[in-house]
Amino acid sequence: MELDEMTMDIELHVDVNGPIEAVYQSVLQQVGAANVRPDGESLNMKLEEWAGGRWYRDRGQGIQHLWGHVQVIKPPSLLELSGPLLMSYPAINHIEVKLAETGGKGTTRVSFRHRAIGMLDPGLKEGVQVGWQHLLDAVKGDFAKTEGSQT
């Protein structure tokens, strides 16, 4: 394998019409309990919100998959996760989610970065980019619903 086939670096950004504290809570929910695939199927994710906490998929009946551990948690501006994620082959991943207020207290920029190295599956890069964009769209959607309900 060539080095570029063994590495991945995906960066995505979304601007959310919401205060940073609330957007951060939405990120935690979307990474954890509210995490669904683009086809709508729940991933049944659990996130223990402390350094060293597990991030795992609980499929019930004792079936679980460790996706990673919380490396850094700094409310409301940073979440870092590291581990194998969805990969059941030799690979290590690092997820970084940074939040920053933009344009005053009403808008938050969410910057997402996923880096990986290992024996990466050839179709992985496209698939995870779609999945992570779906997650960021869900965060943004949490606040679009709120805006639509205000009169």
What distance in Å separates the CA atoms of residue 62 and residue 17, rounded to the nearest whole number? 39
Cα 78 to chain centroid distance, Å, stands at 12
Choose among 121, 125, 134: nearest CA to 37.
Answer: 134
pLDDT interval class at 146 (50, 70, 90): low
Whether a cis peptide bond, with omega within 30° of 0, leads into 76 is yes
User: pLDDT by residue (tens digit) across 15-69?
Assistant: 999 999 999 999 999 999 999 999 999 999 999 999 999 999 999 999 999 999 9
How is residue 42 annotated by DSSP? B
The 10 Å CB-count burial string (b at 16+, else e) for 116-150 is bebebeeebbeebeebbeebbebbbebbeeeeeee
User: pLDDT by residue (tens digit) across 104-129?
Assistant: 778 999 999 999 999 999 889 989 99
What distance in Å separates the CA atoms of residue 79 and residue 98, rounded to the nearest whole number? 7
- Full-model pTM: 0.92
